[in-house]
Amino acid sequence: MGNENVRVSNLRTLVIGCTPLARKVVSLLDDISDLIGVVNLTPSKGALKSNYDCMSSFAKENSYNIFWTEDINNRKTLDWIKQRKPEVIIQCGWSQIFKPELLSIPEKYCIGIHPSPLPVGRGAAVINWKIIESNQRSIKWGNSLFIMEEKTDTGDVLDYEPFMIDVRDDVRTTYLKVDKTSIDMLKRTIPKIADGSISPSPQDNSKATRYRRRSPEDGKIDHNWPVNKIASFVRALTHPYPGAFLETNYGKIFIWKLAPQRFHWQSQEVGKVMSISKEGLLTSLRSGEAMSIGRVSNEENIEMWADDWAREVGISVGDKLFND
């Protein structure tokens, strides 16, 4: 991982995480600190979570140092963590709130990784919301390391790294940027914690904003939206998330790839299929706008190219994909 120039310490670290980022953090901390344990979500519970990573290869090689749980705050989990006497706990993508007893276990810090420029963007589903809000524009964003408290995302900031959410990014590629900036910050921060040179910065609560948690039902597309909003919505909810969906005359479809299109008409029948090709299923919207649907899943959860789906359900050019 290119960690040869990072100072190695005897800092006792423990990771609580169940995402691809957690796997990368575990690998880093195993190189630059004394990694004493990993807590992961049980596979049965993880199957219900987007972006889950069970870290099976680590578990196979380090079975004595990994603990599986469904509740991070239950007695058995807390006792296992306490027995390892961590100086620092790093939380990566864990959706359960850490209660006071857990927060008090590490000798130094319980550190959270939050994909926003705190105090802006506290809360849940941050990257999904930010892409939705982008309206097909590239936007400046960032990632924060912070000290976890009982109230979520409010603790002092240990480090911050900016990044761009580009128009070409979807939720998956944006999270790869979150992963990279997280590793960069931990490379800087862990040695400073070890030698006592870290200087936490309080958050300015007057600038705080917060996002709410999303549910799969929030993925419904309204065809009356502007095409840029629809396109951003699809980018925000594509794999590995549950997906944005559209109710059509041919059943419900989940859309994984979509491109906005614009034409010169002033009035066009909304929902009309304009063309079907390997470029996509081109469907008219309002005021000279159209969407080219590239990839979909049908109601049986079978994913395919949109033109293949159209032929399978019998859609022809000129048909109505949905009614206005």
Q: In three state form, how does the secondary structure of 212-245 look?
A: CCCCHHHHECCCCCCHHHHHHHHHHHCCCCCCEE
pTM listed for this prediction? 0.92
- Our CA dihedral for 201, 163, 53, 75, rounded to 10 degrees, sits at 10
Could you tell me the CATH superfamily of domain 12-211? Formyl transferase, N-terminal domain (3.40.50.170)
Give the mean pLDDT of the chain: 93
The answer to whether the 12-211 and 216-313 domains have the same CATH topology is no
The domains of the chain are located at 12-211, 216-313
Considering the domain delimited by 216-313, tell me its CATH architecture.
Roll (3.10)
% of the chain surpassing 90 pLDDT: 84
84-106, pLDDT tens digit by residue? Answer: 999 999 999 898 999 999 999 99
The rounded distance, in Å, linking the Cα atoms of 54 and 97 is 20
% of the chain surpassing 70 pLDDT: 96
